[in-house]
Structure 1
């Protein structure tokens, strides 16, 4: 914790009713206020975060716990205040259920022995905090005024670091691929029958250091599919241009949002990523069904952009991808290039589903943490799935197959 004479630490409070207590009791700290959805864009490296178990938190608790763990300082604190006392409802069963949940949580807050406290808490919540490096903590002197009013956790190790340790185990890695990411398992004949070209990215650029065009059917595909390779290319002097080919409004995390929010929030997230990495970005609106379609207008728009940029490389989703809009993105570039008079190499990247052949494999270990950190800007997608874990496991799996070493994180492509 911060001490007198040292620089101020950052604390974040997402419980409006707690503002007075925090201001009165916390000194020598920068106290930030906001909502759950503000959090990922606030200043990172917080010493403490205060949240309440409410409807929004419970709907997306995996994402919020993951995000808190990622942005807390090492040894930082995460305080959870329990449910409000439930209002009397005509639905007696619902009221009793809410009342018991409120009662159990408040009992847990008063118990100091961890294994007894767990009896009264949600098993899912306990597992999630453990998964993301948050451990039960006693209340330090600075937070004694909150004792009995909630449960306090302390960050011991970042989830990403914990996962990297596990990835050194081949058994763990293969189990994760088989149980969670079976769509990305590479068949033996792909490795046996294909000769992977072991060349440098500089050779792939043909020493051009020019424009690289990336097709992203949804905001986040550019990072999930080829983010590490793009950063390596940028480091070599290439200029990265990303086409966000839709607004990504069909994501499950947006199903209950207002139409205006659905059509703007993911573009806003993509803008933050582009600014972080100095990507040039282009935005295409979705069709009336909020999807990317294989229209002549989109094909013409894409051809105009290719003619304007004359890229040395184009990254596009694989035509074997299981997502229909990813297939459409490949179809659009394939049709557009039939009318293009220049020379350009197209690399297909996988997102949902494995490649049928692998022509290039690039080690992106040095860029991996930057990509993982940037994924937290894509909070809509990250609410729906833990892409950070998915990406690390897939990268390590591909490193194991291609380099016989899961410590080498690898992205793969086909031509």
Structure 2
């Protein structure tokens, strides 16, 4: 199926409540970079916390690839900044800092297999055990970023240890693929109505100030989330494709 048709079909998935999506138990969100959790699953997290469901976030990479030419924010300082931003972001969604695990794998070089990937998979499985996860959410395997694809592969490695937990993927960058890109069969899954949490989600996204503002002012080539992308991902529904 072409990606333009796939994403259009994802926009027509049935709307379901959290119980239908997750079943019983908590949720684990796996984010390749600090900010993916807010962009792709901010409403999901907020709804789960509203209902008293436990949530664990596993951030896979250190996020240090966003501003590689900054002298004000060398890698260790940038990593610390992005982790602080993540904690502030998830606080807007109802999570505490103790519920976030940072794996600190190298941004743009997250492995899909081998011992490091297996250790990351073990961390995902531990997060699922800790919250009695009914479902695990990770970025779409066809997202055009190597770390998003590697994170999906890491969750696949974790699958034997996830018991009956359901697995879903959430697209973040898929809409930037060439429309004719083939991405496999028609999506199955659900949309979650997150309209009640849109304001909190926007606040969470904006908490990642290094990615949304000129906070890091000495790297003209640094990454910046475009308003169009934020608007696209902060609509009334989030989309979750069954793995």
TM-score (norm 1): 0.47
Q: Which moved more, 1:313-322 or 1:367-376?
A: 367-376
Q: Distance in 2 between matches of 1:258 and 1:194?
A: 40
TM-score (norm 2): 0.77
> Which 5+ residue runs of structure 2 have no aligned equivalent?
176-182, 214-222
> Which 5+ residue runs of structure 1 have no aligned equivalent?
1-184, 397-408
What is the match of residue 190 of structure 2? 360
Secondary structure class of the residue paired with 2:200: helix
Of 69, 75, 93 in structure 2, the residue corresponding to residue 255 of structure 1 is 69
Distance 1:250 1:200, change over 3 A: same
How large is the Cα RMSD of the aligned pairs?
A: 2.7
**Residue 53 of structure 2 is aligned to residue 232 of structure 1:** no
Question: Which of 1 and 2 has higher RCO (CA within 8 Å, sep 6+)?
Answer: 2
Secondary structure class of the residue paired with 2:133: coil
8 Å contact from structure 2 (residues 202, 234) kept in 1: no
8 Å contact from structure 1 (residues 312, 344) kept in 2: yes
**Residue 42 of structure 2 is aligned to residue 212 of structure 1:** no
Distance 1:186 1:320, change over 3 A: closer
Q: Distance in 2 between matches of 1:194 and 1:219?
A: 25
Greater Rg, structure 1 or structure 2?
1
- Map 1:5-404; keep pairs closer than 5 Å: 187-188=4-5, 191=8, 196-206=13-23, 208=24, 210-252=25-67, 254-256=68-70, 257-276=73-92, 277-279=94-96, 280-287=99-106, 291-294=109-112, 295-307=114-126, 308-309=129-130, 310-337=132-159, 339-340=160-161, 342-354=163-175, 357=187, 359-383=189-213, 384-387=223-226, 389-396=228-235
Q: CA deviation at 1:244?
A: 1.2
Q: Distance in 2 between matches of 1:290 and 1:188?
A: 28
